[in-house]
Amino acid sequence: MDETTLKRLLGIYYFFLFVGVLAGVLYYFLGHPHFIFLWDRIPAFHSLFGFTGCVLIIVVSKALGHYWLMKDEDYYEKRRW
């Protein structure tokens, strides 16, 4: 891909990213969203909740793999009858 084409595509990407974020912020402050739960009123709660959940899944999976699933190097040598 040519460098000018890449710059043009990145420019288009950032433009639509900015428009999307701006539309979300304007809707949050100027629109009339109907909040059902208390945490719906906290800005970016669902994004932070999802990010925290993904990080916890990764950390717990790594811990399970390291402390429970992995075997010692001489695991099979210890089991000789």
Per-residue pLDDT tens for 9-68?
Answer: 999 999 999 999 999 888 878 877 778 888 888 878 998 999 999 999 999 999 999 888
For residues 46 and 81, membership in a common domain is answered with yes
Domain that holds residue 3: 1-33
**pTM passes above 0.85:** no
For residues 28 and 44, membership in a common domain is answered with no
Q: How far is the first Cα of the chain from the last one, in angstroms, to the nearest whole number?
A: 62
For residues 2 and 25, membership in a common domain is answered with yes
Residue whose entry in the numeric block shows the structure tokens 């909040």: 35
C-alpha span between 2 and 32 (Å, rounded): 45
For residues 16 and 45, membership in a common domain is answered with no
For residues 45 and 71, membership in a common domain is answered with yes
Residue whose entry in the numeric block shows the structure tokens 């010692």: 72
Domain count, the chain: 2
For residues 2 and 26, membership in a common domain is answered with yes
For residues 44 and 24, membership in a common domain is answered with no
